[in-house]
């Protein structure tokens, strides 16, 4: 019988790797004073460590896509965080919900603190704050519902205390909502705050208020001719005879403006108000007993497209106490560049001193740019969900060099598959790419173990990819992918990938050396107007492969030549996006609708494919012979879409599950002469709802099915025409969307069944399918050995689970499980069992 109560401490689960892309939206990324970067990945908040180029964890809690994140303190207030033991993170989503998280520096643990009450009616578009001290902060949030809320947050004095949150102001903006905010303390020790906001009306609105609220309109700053996309206040600056702060604003008009807000004492106000000079400089406003003059300091022109973010360089600390605000700012634009601007020493004119980016064809621009707390690194996030990091490695002068950063899909990950010997993981996603992740030997003392990285992007497609499968058996690395088209595509590893893989798997290169001698294709190119990836042959000189600009293609449609090379360290985004493609070797035509599921047998001779279907004639499963890629069978059994298929480990049976709530088992026999004999053994209704997942026992002919009805059932093939249900596991709290069975002991027929759910959670069940003295299967012993910590799990439905192939499982106490999900994540776990 099944039980969740026994043996819950027998297994230890550790995170090994998380691959995820950034949501493609402005204000989604925040770099904290703790030197961690937060960003939204679908409805999860991911935490990235730039030093080791790894995603450390994801925070579950949001039900909608995460739009914005904000650290308290962020890099700007790092000088106030020297003695803070706990840092805080705000995240807002598309439903208007804002969540506060707590991060403890010493033990590196996360805690869900609270959900901000009175959520916005529509999506949160920006969160910005200011650290008043190490004990309290003020932050503001804006939404497309036309409101801006201002909150005061008091941090607890002890680790067991609670944060105190109070709403001090709600401002109604009107129909043209604000999309950018910034808060600052006004100079002159007035105790007043300035709130700047910008949005769809092309104006900057300044409000003044106190920590207790009472924010009132101060003035409007006009000049931009497009939507305001970003705002940032500097810290107070001591000028000659005056104290002032600077406000930098950017817009879709491609321009950046710097505004100066200078403190004037109240006695001079009356005189200046009547003079023409004060009006020429700009508007004036009063806050409490102090008055302030606003003037435009500079207009920066340099970007060729919308400027999505501007940010002042974090302040430097001088002599341990004094804080100095450098007059240096960072801008990021959809023109694929980030720029650092500084005033020229003699004239004071602001000029562009550093430009990074210029990423040619592989990026469609940047949504935001951010400084590190020490201002020695800058980070951009792009249209393709990617990160781009540069570090200043210069000694006497600036020398910004690209650095490794984590990467991943920016849409739901639909399928994953391990390489034949577990060297890497292949994933396919609705972001229209397939990616390969592998562990890379450590080279730094900061790395405790081999860190995983994306080492190739073999397919960049024009349709969402629904399924992938890796060809087993001998020979070169190959995989088949199915997308929202009627064609399955076969890809073969090029020489450049095999050489890169030999560096990732240092020491296990004998097989790779043999393959490299046989493979003559160096890499692949993507055609400008097509979906195919054409091979680049290693014996062809580069001069003959260059495309002419006069070959009839419009210059806007020309695609740069790929430069496939051997990587001796993990490639960065600019290299991955274009130079790691695999050539397409075959197309498999036959299905009437877009592909939905693929699987390969364990001997590497057959591939099975299915497509979306609403009738029995379309819901057939096609069998393809590996090598010749001929169709050798069409299996009829179901009336709706086949959701998953899997060959038994001896390749005698093919298990098929479907949306029609039935499963089918086919017997598969090799008849020779390129023929396959297949026969439907059993078709049986198994569940009350859609069957999403299935998995065979590696040591026998038992299998599991998982369904939307929140159940997992264990079955066994008894003979050529009979399937017996052995048991039903206790009902789960959510729909079961993924299953994977791994064998641990052949003699006892013992193994683990990983169960993935629609909630994103994963459970591990121990199953022992023993036989009685007369040879009959008994009811399996089933025990839930571990429920994964939600902070380890997905935040959206699990799409697929799969165990890493290994011949050492009986001798090793650690096995690895890979998972993918709708939260854009690919994850690898270490399962350490006793």
Per-residue pLDDT band for 814 (boundaries 50, 70, 90) equals confident
- Domain annotation covers residue 520: yes
CA 506 distance to own-chain centroid: 28
Residue 816 contacts by C-beta under 8 Å, 6 or more apart in sequence? Answer: 16, 422, 803, 804, 806, 828, 829, 830, 831
The answer to whether the CB of 476 falls within 8 A of the CB of 519 is yes
Average pLDDT over residues 169-194: 88
Q: Say if residue 532 is in the same domain as residue 566.
A: yes
- Domain annotation covers residue 82: no
Q: Say if residue 456 is in the same domain as residue 376.
A: no
Average pLDDT over residues 416-432: 94
- Domain annotation covers residue 279: no
Q: Which of 339, 366, 396 is where one domain is finished?
A: 396
**Domain residues for 486?**
413-537+562-589
Per-residue pLDDT band for 556 (boundaries 50, 70, 90) equals very low
* Cβ burial, residue 324 (10 Å; 0-12/13-18/19+): middle
Rounded CA-CA distance 724/777 in Å is 9
Q: Say if residue 433 is in the same domain as residue 581.
A: yes
The answer to whether the CB of 786 falls within 8 A of the CB of 754 is no
Per-residue pLDDT band for 780 (boundaries 50, 70, 90) equals confident
What percent of the chain is predicted at pLDDT more than 90? 63
> Is the confidence at residue 507, as pLDDT, over 90?
no
Q: Say if residue 453 is in the same domain as residue 384.
A: no
> What interhelical angle do 510-518 and 495-504 show, nearest 10?
170
The answer to whether the CB of 765 falls within 8 A of the CB of 729 is yes
Give pLDDT tens digits for 302-327. Answer: 999 999 999 999 987 766 566 788 99
Per-residue pLDDT band for 276 (boundaries 50, 70, 90) equals low
Residue 173 contacts by C-beta under 8 Å, 6 or more apart in sequence? Answer: 142, 146, 147, 148, 197, 199, 205
Q: Where in 686-758 does DSSP place strands (E)?
A: 691-696, 702-707, 712-719, 722-728, 736-745, 750-757
SS3 496: helix
Rounded CA-CA distance 471/491 in Å is 10
pLDDT of residue 465: 95
Q: Say if residue 342 is in the same domain as residue 471.
A: no
- Domain annotation covers residue 575: yes
- Domain annotation covers residue 519: yes
Per-residue pLDDT band for 189 (boundaries 50, 70, 90) equals low
Give the residue among 357, 345, 331, 199 at the shortest CA–CA distance from 255.
331
Residue 270 contacts by C-beta under 8 Å, 6 or more apart in sequence? Answer: none
Q: Say if residue 348 is in the same domain as residue 449.
A: no
Q: Say if residue 353 is in the same domain as residue 443.
A: no
Average pLDDT over residues 647-673: 91
Average pLDDT over residues 726-750: 90
> Is the confidence at residue 395, as pLDDT, over 90?
no
Q: Report the range of poorest mean pLDDT among 6-20, 393-407, 534-548.
A: 534-548
Give pLDDT tens digits for 484-503. Answer: 999 999 999 999 999 899 88
Place of tokens 């700009």: 282
What is the total count of domains within the chain? 2
Average pLDDT over residues 72-76: 92
> Is the confidence at residue 510, as pLDDT, over 80?
no
Rounded CA-CA distance 659/573 in Å is 38
Highest mean pLDDT among 188-202, 246-260, 510-524: 246-260
> Is the confidence at residue 684, as pLDDT, over 60?
yes
> Is the confidence at residue 274, as pLDDT, over 50?
no
Q: Which of 327, 361, 396 is where one domain is finished?
A: 396
pLDDT of residue 466: 95
Residue 719, beta-bridge partner list: 722
Residue 609, beta-bridge partner list: 598, 622
Q: Say if residue 422 is in the same domain as residue 571.
A: yes
- Torsional class of 673: left (φ above 0), alpha (ψ -120 to 50), beta (otherwise): left
Per-residue pLDDT band for 543 (boundaries 50, 70, 90) equals very low
SS3 271: helix
Q: Say if residue 342 is in the same domain as residue 375.
A: yes
Neighbouring C-beta atoms of residue 747, cutoff 10 Å:
7
What percent of the chain is predicted at pLDDT more than 70? 88
- Domain annotation covers residue 581: yes
Q: H-helix or E-strand containing 237?
A: strand 237-238
pLDDT of residue 755: 97
The answer to whether the CB of 293 falls within 8 A of the CB of 218 is no
- Domain annotation covers residue 382: yes
Residue 479 contacts by C-beta under 8 Å, 6 or more apart in sequence? Answer: 417, 426, 434, 458, 468, 469, 470, 471, 490, 491
Give the residue among 516, 484, 522 at the shortest CA–CA distance from 502.
516
> Is the confidence at residue 397, as pLDDT, over 50?
yes
Q: Which of 349, 367, 396 is where one domain is finished?
A: 396
> Is the confidence at residue 121, as pLDDT, over 60?
yes
Q: Say if residue 507 is in the same domain as residue 461.
A: yes
Residue 622, beta-bridge partner list: 609, 634
Q: Report the range of poorest mean pLDDT among 534-538, 563-567, 828-832.
A: 534-538
pLDDT of residue 416: 97
- Domain annotation covers residue 445: yes
* Cβ burial, residue 118 (10 Å; 0-12/13-18/19+): exposed
Q: Report the range of poorest mean pLDDT among 4-8, 40-44, 205-209, 554-558.
A: 554-558
Q: Say if residue 373 is in the same domain as residue 434.
A: no
Give pLDDT tens digits for 347-382. Answer: 989 999 999 987 545 557 899 999 999 999 999 999
pLDDT of residue 252: 93
Write down the mean pLDDT value for the chain: 87
Rounded CA-CA distance 553/820 in Å is 39
Residue 766, beta-bridge partner list: 752, 783
Q: What angle do CA 539, 540, 544 make, to 5 degrees?
A: 170
Average pLDDT over residues 279-303: 85
Q: Say if residue 473 is in the same domain as residue 377.
A: no
Tokens of 532: 């195919």
pLDDT of residue 247: 95
Neighbouring C-beta atoms of residue 527, cutoff 10 Å:
12
């Amino acid at each position: 019988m099944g039980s969740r109560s026994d043996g819950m401490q027998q297994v230890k689960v550790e995170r090994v790797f998380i691959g995820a892309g950034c949501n493609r939206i402005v204000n989604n990324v925040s770099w904290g004073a703790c030197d961690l970067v937060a960003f939204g990945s679908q409805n999860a908040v991911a935490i990235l460590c730039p030093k080791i180029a790894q995603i450390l964890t994801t925070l579950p809690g949001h039900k909608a896509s995460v739009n914005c994140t904000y650290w308290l303190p962020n890099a700007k207030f790092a000088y106030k965080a020297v003695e803070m033991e706990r840092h805080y993170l705000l995240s807002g989503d598309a439903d208007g919900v804002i969540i506060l998280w707590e991060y403890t520096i010493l033990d590196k643990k996360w805690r869900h603190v609270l959900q901000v009450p009175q959520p916005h009616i529509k999506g949160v578009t920006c969160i910005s704050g200011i650290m008043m001290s190490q004990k309290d902060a003020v932050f503001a949030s804006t939404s497309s519902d036309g409101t801006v809320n201002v909150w005061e947050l008091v941090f607890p004095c002890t680790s067991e205390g609670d944060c105190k949150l109070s709403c001090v102001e709600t401002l109604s903006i009107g129909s043209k909502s604000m999309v950018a905010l910034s808060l600052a303390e006004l100079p002159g020790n007035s105790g007043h705050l300035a709130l700047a906001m910008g949005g769809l009306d092309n104006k900057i609105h300044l409000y003044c208020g106190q920590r207790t609220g009472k924010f009132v309109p101060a003035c409007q700053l006009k000049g931009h001719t497009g939507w305001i996309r970003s705002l940032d206040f500097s810290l107070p600056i001591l000028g000659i005879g005056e104290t002032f702060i600077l406000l930098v604003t950017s817009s879709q008009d491609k321009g950046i403006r710097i505004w100066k807000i200078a403190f004037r004492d109240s006695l001079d106000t009356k005189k200046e108000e009547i003079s023409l000079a004060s009006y020429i400089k700009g508007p004036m406003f009063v806050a409490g007993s102090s008055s302030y003059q606003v003037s435009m300091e500079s207009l920066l022109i340099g970007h060729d497209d919308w400027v999505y973010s501007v940010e002042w360089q974090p302040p430097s600390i001088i002599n341990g106490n004094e804080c100095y605000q450098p007059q240096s700012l960072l801008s990021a634009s959809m023109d694929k560049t980030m720029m650092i601007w500084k005033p020229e020493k003699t004239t004071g004119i602001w000029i562009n001193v550093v430009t990074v980016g210029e990423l040619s064809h592989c990026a469609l621009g940047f949504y935001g740019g951010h400084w590190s707390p020490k201002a020695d690194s800058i980070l951009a996030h792009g249209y393709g969900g990617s990160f781009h990091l540069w570090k200043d490695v210069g000694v006497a002068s600036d020398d910004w060099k690209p650095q490794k950063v984590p990467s991943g899909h920016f849409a739901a990950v639909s399928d994953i598959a391990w390489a034949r010997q577990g060297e890497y993981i292949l994933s396919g996603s609705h972001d229209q790419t397939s990616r390969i992740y592998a562990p890379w030997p450590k080279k730094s003392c900061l790395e405790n173990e081999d860190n995983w990285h994306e080492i190739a992007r073999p397919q960049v497609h024009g349709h969402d990819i629904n399924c992938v499968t890796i060809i087993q058996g001998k020979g070169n690395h190959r995989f088949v992918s199915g997308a929202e088209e009627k064609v399955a595509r076969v890809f073969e590893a090029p020489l450049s990938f095999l050489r890169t893989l030999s560096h990732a798997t240092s020491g296990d290169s004998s097989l790779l050396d043999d393959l490299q001698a046989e493979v003559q294709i160096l890499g692949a190119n993507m055609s400008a107007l097509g979906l195919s990836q054409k091979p680049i042959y290693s014996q062809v000189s580069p001069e003959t492969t260059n495309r002419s600009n006069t070959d009839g293609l419009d210059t806007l449609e020309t695609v740069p030549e790929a430069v496939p090379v051997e990587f001796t360290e993990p490639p960065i985004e600019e290299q991955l996006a274009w130079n790691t493609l695999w050539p397409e070797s075959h197309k498999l035509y036959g299905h009437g609708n877009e592909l939905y599921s693929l699987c390969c047998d364990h001997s590497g001779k057959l591939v099975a494919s299915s497509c979306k279907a609403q009738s029995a004639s379309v819901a057939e499963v096609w069998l393809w012979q590996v090598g010749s890629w001929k169709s050798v069978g069409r299996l009829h059994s179901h009336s709706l879409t086949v959701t998953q298929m899997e060959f038994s480990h001896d390749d005698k049976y093919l298990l098929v599950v479907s949306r029609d709530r039935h499963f089918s088992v086919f017997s598969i026999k090799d008849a020779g002469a390129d023929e396959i004999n297949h026969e439907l053994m059993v078709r049986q209704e198994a569940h009350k709802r859609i069957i999403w997942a299935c998995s065979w026992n590696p040591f026998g002919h038992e299998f599991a099915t998982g369904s939307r009805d929140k159940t997992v059932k264990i079955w066994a093939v008894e003979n050529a025409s009979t399937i017996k249900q052995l048991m039903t596991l206790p009902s789960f709290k959510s729909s079961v969307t993924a299953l994977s069975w791994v064998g641990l002991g052949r003699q006892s027929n013992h193994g683990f069944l990983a169960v993935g759910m629609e909630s994103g959670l994963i459970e591990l069940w121990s199953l022992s399918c023993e036989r009685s003295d007369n040879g009959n299967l008994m009811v399996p012993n089933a025990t839930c050995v571990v429920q994964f910590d939600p902070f380890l799990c997905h935040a959206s439905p699990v799409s697929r689970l799969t165990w890493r192939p290994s011949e050492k499982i009986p001798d090793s106490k650690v096995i690895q499980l890979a998972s993918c999900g709708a939260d854009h994540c690919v994850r690898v776990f270490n399962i350490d069992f006793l």
